[in-house]
Amino acid sequence: MMNRSDWQAVRDAFIADDRAKLGEPPTVDELLAYERGELSREEAERVQQLLVAYPELARAYATPFPSDDDGALPDEVIDRQWSAFRAANSGGSGRRVLQFWRGLAAIAATVAIGFGAMLWTEHMERLLPRVLPEPAAELTPGGSRGLPGQPQTRITPSGDSVLVVVSLVGPIDYELYRLELVNNDSQKIIWTSEPLRAKSSRSFYVEIPSRILPDGTYEVAAYGLRGNAQEPVATYTIDVRRARAR
Amino acid sequence: MSDDRFEAIYRKHYARVWRYFRGNSISDDEAHDLAQDTFKRLYERMNQIRNDDPWPFLATIAKTILLNRVRARQTQKRNARMVEIDDPDLIFAEPAAAEEPDYADREAEELRRSRLRAAMESLPPGQRECQRLQLEGLQYDEIATTLGISIDAVKSRLRDAKQYLREQLGEKS
């Protein structure tokens, strides 16, 4: 006849052996999946073996929920617990507001990082050597070529930018010049240069990003600067037309 | 969901959730703590309740909390700190051990236990699992839930297992 300690010793030995062989207890997710019948046969058998090896977990897993009729707690107990719950969780709306601002701050930080990265990339690109495009056109002042009132030069942008050469002609020399690019259709000034010192060639090389040059007619105006005054020196008309895809 | 509705759910189901935890040998106070934790999680997930009856969702939360608690304790036991044999912490303030059984008694004890173990190991796996869970104090319905079988199947396996063990161990029924 076996005594109680014999059963206990054999039970302990079985558990120790099983745990050494099977490892950690099943996760809660595994147990819930097992309960819902979502595991394969092999996985379910493994969970069963683990439950036998971890009987405390098996007991918790198998504990049935009491029915509604199993007896209520006194009202004062429920009242006390409810008050405690409210006190501990009353900051719900405040927390939601805090979570909103935290979320917003996270988004702002992400945007800032992205924007910073773009700026940095652009900055680094500016530090690298760059091959300028071939001059698209050498501009001469209006009236020197073509019909009066008609665009003087046609440009067909094909890359990121177009390079135009603005040549000054005529006898008047200024120490400083300023250039302007105007959209003829909208009469909107697209770009105004800083004061430019004239070179011996009396030409300015202007690289214009293609994205600010939609198809249309533009005017490049050159002004001579004298003190605080500026005087028109020349205008150049360009017609921008992209090649149509065939 | 409005706070009024949540309060109604809380008041209706609190005792049931609390008794569920108490049914797992958890103290009154800790059962209250776990019940509060259950309702807190429900409160945070109220928008996930798909139908009018929140009980299935609440029951799943309570079960998850209970299983997490038990599992964490099991894992803690497995990861208990190892000590060297000459570690000064390895001193237990316990009464002196009872007098050692003599050699003949120890030998008889080892023989009994090895026979019992061999008999248990020779049981079919299904019967052995039922037998072991019953040794742990699980009821028929709890064993059935754990192993995913019917209560009748549990009774049948246990009856066969006991009959087999009696024969193997030479005990009369």
Q: What is the pLDDT of residues A133-144, one digit of tens each?
A: 777 777 877 644
pTM: 0.57
- Domain for residue A81, yes or no? yes
Q: Does A204 lie in the same domain as A156? A: yes
Q: Does A207 lie in the same domain as A118? A: no
Overall residue count recorded for chain A in this entry: 246
> In chain B, what is the greatest distance between 2 CA atoms, to the nearest angstrom?
73
Q: Does B64 lie in the same domain as B8? A: yes
Residue B13 has which token pair? 């189901």
CATH of the domain at B125: 1.10.10.10
Q: Check whether B163 has a pLDDT greater than 80.
A: yes
Gap between the Cα atoms of A82 and B165, Å rounded: 53
Task: Give the distance from residue A105's alpha carbon to the nearest chain B alpha carbon, in angstroms.
Answer: 22
* CA nearest to B70 within chain A: A57
- Domain for residue A70, yes or no? no
Phi-psi region of A9 (alpha: psi -120 to 50; beta: other; left: phi over 0): alpha
| Least trusted range by pLDDT, from A87-96, B28-37, B119-128 | A87-96
- Domain for residue B91, yes or no? no
Q: How, if at all, do strands A135-139 and A161-167 pair?
A: parallel
Gap between the Cα atoms of B11 and B21, Å rounded: 17
Q: Which residue has the tokens 């969970």?
A: A47
Q: Check whether A150 has a pLDDT greater than 90.
A: no
- Domain for residue A246, yes or no? no
Residue B42 pLDDT: 92
- Any CB–CB contact under 8 A between B4 and chain A? no
Q: Which residues of A touch B165 (CB under 8 A)?
A: none
Q: Does A232 lie in the same domain as A141? A: yes
Q: A7-21: b or e for each residue (b if 16 or more CB lie within 10 Å)? A: eebbbeebbeebbee
- The rounded Cα A77 to chain-centroid distance in angstroms is 52
Q: Does A153 lie in the same domain as A234? A: yes
Residue A137 pLDDT: 76
Average model confidence (pLDDT) for chain B? Answer: 85
Q: Check whether B94 has a pLDDT greater than 60.
A: no
Q: What is the number of domains present in chain B? A: 2
Q: Does B68 lie in the same domain as B10? A: yes
| Least trusted range by pLDDT, from A38-42, B106-110, B113-117 | B106-110
- DSSP H stretches of helix in chain A: 4-22, 28-35, 41-53, 55-62, 75-89, 92-126
Q: Which of A14, A24, A25 sits opposite B132 (nearest CB)?
A: A14
Residue A226 pLDDT: 83
Gap between the Cα atoms of B122 and A10, Å rounded: 14
* CA nearest to B36 within chain A: A85
Count CA within 13 A, CB hemisphere, residue B149. 17
Residue A76 has which token pair? 């004062």
Among A36, A63, A90, where does a domain finish?
A63
* CA nearest to A74 within chain B: B15
CB atoms within 10 A of CB B145: 20
Residue A244 pLDDT: 76
Q: Does A122 lie in the same domain as A139? A: no
- Domain for residue B137, yes or no? yes
Q: Check whether B96 has a pLDDT greater than 70.
A: no
- Domain for residue A158, yes or no? yes
Among B60, B78, B96, where does a domain finish?
B78
In this prediction, what percent of chain B has a pLDDT beyond 70?
Answer: 81
> Domain range for residue B69?
3-78
- Domain for residue B126, yes or no? yes
> Domain range for residue A222?
135-240
Q: What is the number of domains present in chain A? A: 3
